[in-house]
Structure 1
Amino acid sequence: WYALESERGPLAASVMGLINRLGTVYELNELASRWTFTGHQQLSIEQALEVKEELETIDRLLAQLEEARKNAKIGLIDLDALGRFADAGELDDLERLKQQVQEMIERAAAEQGLDRSKQGYQLTPKAIRTFQGKLLEQIFSDLAPSKTGRHQAAAVGDGAVELVPTRPFEFGDSVAHLDLPGSLTNTMLRTLAEGGAIGPGSPLRLDQRDLEVHRTRNSPKAATVVILDMSGSMRYGGLYINVKRMALALQGLVQREYPGDFLQFIEMASFARPRAFSELVSLLPKPVTIFDPVVRLRADMADPNIGESDIPPHFTNIQHALQLARQYLARQDTPNRQVIVITDGLPTAHFEDQELYLLYPPHGRTEEATIREARACHREGIMVNVFLLSGWSQSREDIQFAYRLAETARGRVAFAAGNELDRFVVWDYHARRRSIIG
C-alpha cells in the first residue's frame, strides 16, 4: 500500500478491496472459533457478521449482568442493548431498580457531604471533616493499647488554665487565680483557733497565710510545617495517596485538639509551594518529563525569559521547601516550632541564589545545599523531623542522608511504609504536642 504511487488508481482500489475482504475473513474465522454452531442452515457473509455482532452483544450483556449481580452496579448495564433480548416488563423493573439505586447513591452522597459536578463527585468541607473524624478514630483506636506511659502529667506554674487543686499564696502570684472561698475558709478557721468570734458584727481579718491560689497549667502553642513530597517518584506504589491521607488526618487532629496551633502544608517537587488545606485533595505527583539516565541542568530563575513551566517539574527540592518552611515559622511567636519532611529519598534539586540546579543521580552539591538550610533551621530553633517512606529504589544513601538532615536540626528520623504513614505521623505529632504541654 505504501509503495503505491497513487491512492486513486485502479491498483489502489484493488488493494483496498483485498484489505476489506481479508478483514471479513478474519471476522468469520473469529466467529467460528469463539462459538459452536449446529444445524444445516447456511448463512451469507452479511448474515454471519450480523450473528457475530449479536453474539458479542449478548456476551457483553451477560458480563454486565454478572458484575451487577456481584457488586450491585446496575448502572453498568446497557439497557438499550438489553431491550433487544428482554421483555418490556422486565426492562421496566430493571429501570425502576436502577433509579432506586441512583437515588440511594445521591442520598448517601448528600449525607456524607459529597457534591456532584460534571467531573463526578467531589469532596465538600463536610465530607472532609467526616473523613478526618473516621480516620482519626481508626488511628487512635488502633493505638489505644500502647497509649499507657506515653504522656507526661501536665506541668504546673504560671499559666492560663486554672486547675482544681490549690496551693498557698506566694509572693508574685497573680490575684486573678485567687481561691476566694478557700481563703475565707482559712481565715475563719484561723480566727476560731485564735479564740476570736465569727458572726454578725465580727469582721474577718485576712492574713497572707490564709490566701490560697489555684494551681495553673501552661498550654503553649506549637507551630508545624509539613513538607509533602509530590515529586515524580511518589507515583510508584501510590505513595502520594497515603501522604494526602496523613495530611488530612493531621489537619483534623490539630483543628480538633489544638485549635491554637499553627499548621502549614508545603508541596515539594522541583519547586516548593505553600498549599491551603482545601488544595490537598487535588495534589498529584508531578509527571516525569526527562528519562535520561544522567541529568545535569541549571536554570537562572532571575531570567525573565525562563518560567516554572520551562523547568522539568518532577525533581525533589528539599532545600527550597525547608527555606519556605523557615520563613513561615519565623513569624510564629512560639519556641515550639518544627518541620516534618515526608519524602522517599535523596534530594535532586536545589537553589544557589537565583540559579536552580537539577541533578540526577543525586549529587553531593544538592545534599550540601540542603544540609545548609537545615543548619539555618537549627540556628533559629526549628526542629526538622524526617519521615522516610519505603520506596522501590531506596538505598543506603537515602537513609544516611535522612539521618544527616535530622541530626543537623536536632530532629528525628522515622521509617514508615506508605499505608502506615498517616498513623505514624499523626501519633508522633500527638505525642510530641502532649509532651510540650507536659
Structure 2
Amino acid sequence: MRVRYNRWSGSQDPFPADVSPDAVLEEISEDLLSGYDADAALQRLLRRGLGQRQGRVMGLDDLRQRIEQARQRELGRMGLEGPLQQVAQRLAEIESLERTALQLADDPAQADRHGEQLDALPTDPAARLSALNDYQWYDEGAAAAFRELLEQLRRDVAEATFGRLASALGSLSAEDLQRTQDLLADVNAMVAKRERGEDVTADFAAFKQRYADLMAGLANPETLDDLLEELARRMAAMSQMMAGLDADQRAQLAQLSSELLADLDLSFQTEQLTRSLQRLYPELGWDESVSGAMPGGQESGSLPATVDWVEHLRSYEDLGAALHQDYPGARLEDVDEDALRRALGDDAVHDLRALREVERVLEEAGAASRQQGRLELTPRGIRKLGERSLARIYDRAVTGAPGSHRASGSGGDGELTGATRPYRFGDPFRLDVGRTIGNALRRGTSSTPATSSAAPPAPSRVRLRPDDFELAEAERRVRAATVLLLDMSFSMPLRGNWVPAKRLALALHSLIDGSFPEDRFDVVGFSDYARRVQPRDLFATGWERVQGTNMQHAFMLARRLLGAHPDAEQQVIMVTDGEPTAHLEGDTPSFEWPPHPRTLQLTMMEARRLTGSGTTLNVFLLDHEPGAAAFIEHMVSSVGGRIFYPDLDDLGSVVVHDFLHRRSH
C-alpha cells in the first residue's frame, strides 16, 4: 500500500474532527472491562464507529459496506464488451450509408461489386475495420465518416493506454506519435538510470519542461514516482479490462489497437514501459480480471470510458482493502481521501478523519501511550475510565440522598513531612517553591561557561523547566480503609456479572481516590486463590477458568491489608454470585462441589476473625443458584454484617450509595 502526501489543494478540511478523549474512553470501556486490551478495544471501536452525541461517526465496517454497495451499483452500469459493441454499431451505421448510396448508384454493376465486397466482410469488429481500411468507398459521406471513426478510435486507444497523458495530443498525426514515442523513451531512460542507482531529479525537471504541453492534463506530478504511478494505474486498468474478455475478444481488441497505432518504435517503448511498471507496481494486479465485471451493462462505453470504469472499480477495491486494515503495517492514513470523497462524499471523509483522531486524542490527553508498538492505558486513562464508570452510576446512587455530593477536586492534602522529591507526571501540583527555584538557579549557574573567576550576574528572571520542579511530600493519614473482594470464578461471566463487577471496582476506586483522598482502597480478586489487584490491572484482569470460589483466602488477605491501618474505619465489600467451594490446605487450594463442610467451616472462621477487630462486612449477592444464598446469609448474620440482593443494573448504584451513606455518618 503506497501513501502519497500532496501540497494543500484547497479541498482539505483544515479543522480536525471533534473527538473527545472522554467520548472515546466511554466507547471502549465495555470492551476493556470484557477483557480486551487497549489496542484490541481501539481496533474494535474503529470498526464499529463512535456514537457521538452530536452525530454518529461511521466505523470502518460501515464505510467498507457502503463502498461495496457503491461498487455493486457501478458494476451494473457498464460492461467489458462495450468498446467492441460500439465499433460494431458505428461500422454498421457507416455501412448503411454506403449501401443506401449504392442503391441509388447510376452504375448497377459497380454497385453490385461494392455490395459483394461489403457482404464478404468478416463478422468480428476488428477484422471488419481492417478490411474496410482497404475498401474503396463509393459514397464520400460514408468515406468521411469512416475516416472520422478511425481518427476517433486512434485517440481512444491512446487515451485508454496512457490516460490523461494522451488528452493533450492533437490529431495523432505522425508528428504526434513521434512526440509520444520520444516522451516514453525519456521515461524509460529515467527508469533505467534510477535503477542503476543514479539521481534523476534534474532529469525529471528537464523532462517536465520539455513536455509541458503533454503533461498539462496530468495531476501535476512532482516526482518521477508520481508520473509512473499514474501511468501504471492506467495501463493496469487497460490490462485488467483485456483480462476480463474471452480469448477471441482479446485478440480482436489487440488487433484493433495494433491496426490503429501501427508504429513499431512506439509499440517497443510502450512494451518496455509496461514491463518496468509491472515490476515496480506488482500490487496493481495487471493480469487479473475485475471481480464481478459482466460483458454488458446499462451503458455501452467507448474504450477509454470502459478503462475509466475499470479504474473506478479498482479504486473501490483499493478503498475496501484499505478500510479492511487486515494487511501488515495497515494504517488509516492508507485510505485515499480523494477516492473516498468521490465514492461516498464529504461526510464519509469527515468520519474517516474522526477515526484517525481517536488514538491521537487519547495520547494527547495522557490517557494512553504506545509501548513497544502496543497501545496501553496510562494511570491517567485508568482514572478517567473510573470517573466515567462512576458517572454512569453516580446519579442513581445519590438521587434523593440529602447532603450527598461528589467533590470535583482532589481533596485535602496531608500534613507536610519536610521531605521533597522530583515531581512526576500525575502527582498533585504541590511544589516546594524554594527547592524548585533553587534547582533552576543551580542549573543556570552550571550551564554558564567558566570564562572568568568573576561571579555571574544575578539573573533578572528565573526560567523554570519541568525537571526543576520539586514536590513537597505530605503524610497521608488514612481515615477509612475499604477492601473490595471481587469474585473471579467462572460462574461470574456465565451469568453476565463480570463486567458490571469490574465497572463497580473502577467506579469505587475513582470515588475514593477523587473525593476521599485520605481513605485507603484495595481490590482483592478471588477464585481458587485470592490475590491483590492493582487498579491499573483491572482491565487486564479477567475471570479465571478454574474451579473454586475461595472466600476463606479472600478474607485472610483482606484482614492482612486492613491490619496496616488499625486506626482507620474498616469495611470489606464482597461481590459474589455464589457460596464458597474452595479453601486452603496449607498453600494448596482444595475444591469440592457441593461445598465440603470443612470449606464452610474455615470460611466462617476467617469471616469471624475479619469482623472480630471491628471490620464491617457487606456482601452483595448477585444472580445466584437457588439455595446458594443459605450459607452466605448465615455467615453474614453470624458476624453482624449486611447482605444485599441488587439487580445487576443497580449493583454500582447500590454499592456507591451505601458507601457514601457510611462515609457521611
TM-score bracket for this pair, using the shorter chain length = 0.5 to 0.7
Matches of 1:111 and 1:88, distance apart in 2: 26
Equivalence for 1:388: 621
Tell me if 1:280 matches 2:538. yes
Matches of 2:337 and 2:502, distance apart in 1: 48
Tell me if 1:265 matches 2:500. no
Matches of 2:548 and 2:290, distance apart in 1: 50
Tell me if 1:434 matches 2:647. no
Stretches of 4+ aligned residues off by more than 4 angstroms = 41-44, 50-53, 61-66, 73-78, 91-99, 117-120
* CA deviations over 1:108-162 (Å, ceiling 9, x no partner): 32336122456754321222222222333332323443213889xxxxxxxx9xx
Letter in 1 for 2:519: D
Tell me if 1:417 matches 2:664. no
Q: Are the structure 2 counterparts of residues 419 and 53 from structure 1 closer, same or farther at C-alpha, using a change threshold of 3 Å?
A: farther
Q: 1:141 aligns with which of 367, 391, 395?
A: 395
Matches of 1:433 and 1:366, distance apart in 2: 34
Tell me if 1:106 matches 2:392. no
Give the Å deviation of 1:232.
1.4
Matches of 1:88 and 1:384, distance apart in 2: 59
Tell me if 1:231 matches 2:464. no
Letter in 2 for 1:406: V
Matches of 2:384 and 2:481, distance apart in 1: 25
Q: Are the structure 2 counterparts of residues 119 and 425 from structure 1 closer, same or farther at C-alpha, using a change threshold of 3 Å?
A: farther
Equivalence for 1:294: none
Q: Are the structure 2 counterparts of residues 64 and 123 from structure 1 closer, same or farther at C-alpha, using a change threshold of 3 Å?
A: farther
Equivalence for 1:129: 383
Instruction: Give the secondary structure class of the aligned counterpart of 1:396.
Output: coil
Give the Å deviation of 1:360.
1.9
Equivalence for 1:54: 291
Give the Å deviation of 1:272.
0.7
Q: 1:339 aligns with which of 572, 586, 595?
A: 572
Matches of 1:273 and 1:255, distance apart in 2: 21
Greater strand share, structure number: 1
Q: Are the structure 2 counterparts of residues 150 and 403 from structure 1 closer, same or farther at C-alpha, using a change threshold of 3 Å?
A: farther
Q: Are the structure 2 counterparts of residues 146 and 89 from structure 1 closer, same or farther at C-alpha, using a change threshold of 3 Å?
A: closer
Give the Å deviation of 1:107.
2.9
Q: Is the 8 A contact 1:227 1:342 kept in 2?
A: yes
Matches of 1:402 and 1:387, distance apart in 2: 10
* CA deviations over 1:82-130 (Å, ceiling 9, x no partner): xxxxx99636867977873453223332336122456754321222222
Letter in 2 for 1:105: V
Aligned ranges 1:213-362 → 2 under 5 Å: 221-287=479-545, 313-334=546-567, 336-354=569-587, 356-362=589-595
Q: Are the structure 2 counterparts of residues 343 and 53 from structure 1 closer, same or farther at C-alpha, using a change threshold of 3 Å?
A: farther
* CA deviations over 1:36-86 (Å, ceiling 9, x no partner): 9x9xx9989xxxxx9999249x99x999999x9xxxx955699xxxxxxxx
Q: Are the structure 2 counterparts of residues 42 and 425 from structure 1 closer, same or farther at C-alpha, using a change threshold of 3 Å?
A: same
Equivalence for 2:217: none
Matches of 1:54 and 1:108, distance apart in 2: 39
Tell me if 1:400 matches 2:630. yes
Letter in 1 for 2:539: V
Letter in 1 for 2:395: S
Q: Is the 8 A contact 1:343 1:387 kept in 2?
A: yes
* CA deviations over 1:382-431 (Å, ceiling 9, x no partner): 221111111xxx22322222212222221111112334322222221111
Q: Is the 8 A contact 2:397 2:656 kept in 1?
A: no
Instruction: Give the secondary structure class of the aligned counterpart of 1:407.
Output: helix
Matches of 2:318 and 2:489, distance apart in 1: 39
Give the Å deviation of 1:381.
1.8
Q: Is the 8 A contact 2:398 2:404 kept in 1?
A: no
Matches of 2:628 and 2:610, distance apart in 1: 21
Q: Is the 8 A contact 1:64 1:77 kept in 2?
A: no
Matches of 1:64 and 1:261, distance apart in 2: 56
In the superposition, the TM-score normalised over structure 1's length comes to 0.55
Letter in 2 for 1:424: V
Q: Are the structure 2 counterparts of residues 426 and 258 from structure 1 closer, same or farther at C-alpha, using a change threshold of 3 Å?
A: same
Superposed CA RMSD in Å reads 4.4
Matches of 2:289 and 2:598, distance apart in 1: 65
Query: Larger radius of gyration, structure 1 or 2?
Result: 2
Q: Is the 8 A contact 1:223 1:334 kept in 2?
A: no
Equivalence for 1:377: 610
* CA deviations over 1:6-38 (Å, ceiling 9, x no partner): xxxxxxxxxxxxxxxxxxxxxxxxxxxxxx9x9
Q: Is the 8 A contact 1:384 1:405 kept in 2?
A: no
Q: Is the 8 A contact 1:387 1:414 kept in 2?
A: yes
Instruction: Give the secondary structure class of the aligned counterpart of 1:333.
Output: coil
Letter in 2 for 1:363: H
Aligned ranges 1:1-80 → 2 under 5 Å: 54-55=291-292, 74=323
Matches of 2:592 and 2:290, distance apart in 1: 55
Give the Å deviation of 1:284.
0.3
Q: Are the structure 2 counterparts of residues 93 and 275 from structure 1 closer, same or farther at C-alpha, using a change threshold of 3 Å?
A: same
Letter in 2 for 1:434: S
* CA deviations over 1:166-190 (Å, ceiling 9, x no partner): xxxxxxxxxxxxxxxxxxxxxxxxx
Moved more, 343-352 or 417-426: 417-426
Matches of 2:531 and 2:486, distance apart in 1: 10
Which ranges of structure 1 fall in alignment gaps of 5 or more residues?
Answer: 1-35, 45-49, 79-86, 152-159, 161-218, 288-312
Matches of 2:317 and 2:579, distance apart in 1: 47
Matches of 1:324 and 1:381, distance apart in 2: 16
Give the Å deviation of 1:316.
0.8
Identical-residue share of aligned pairs (%):
29
Q: Is the 8 A contact 2:382 2:536 kept in 1?
A: no
Matches of 1:369 and 1:338, distance apart in 2: 20
Instruction: Give the secondary structure class of the aligned counterpart of 1:54.
Output: coil
Letter in 1 for 2:634: R
Letter in 2 for 1:374: A
Matches of 2:595 and 2:664, distance apart in 1: 37
Letter in 2 for 1:382: T
Aligned residues: 289
* CA deviations over 1:245-271 (Å, ceiling 9, x no partner): 111111111112211112111110111
Instruction: Give the secondary structure class of the aligned counterpart of 2:549.
Output: coil
Instruction: Give the secondary structure class of the aligned counterpart of 1:375.
Output: helix
Give the Å deviation of 1:371.
0.9
